[in-house]
Amino acid sequence: FLGYFPPNPQDKFYQSDKFRHIISYLNQNPKEATLKEKHSAEGNQLMMRKENVQHVDEVNAVLERILRN
């Protein structure tokens, strides 16, 4: 599973409490998912990656844990 963040690094989302919460949660729970940066000619794209997903419910559960904690 790959979830993409806004492509513009100046996007106000990156200054939000929600983004800081996501970063904090993933740093404390590295087995849940990882952050990756994709490099391209258009610039860098930040994404969240969850390995070995068999069903969409697994992704939903991770996202719920991130939002809940």
Instruction: Convert the pLDDT of each residue in 15-27 to its tens digit.
Output: 999 999 999 999 9
Q: How far is CA 49 from CA 8, 66, in A?
A: 19, 13
Residue 47 pLDDT more than 90? yes
Q: Model confidence at 39, in pLDDT bands (50, 70, 90)? A: confident
Q: Give the largest CA-CA distance in the chain.
A: 36
Write down the mean pLDDT value for the chain. Answer: 92
Residue 69 pLDDT? 79
Q: How far is CA 35 from CA 3, 21, in A?
A: 9, 13
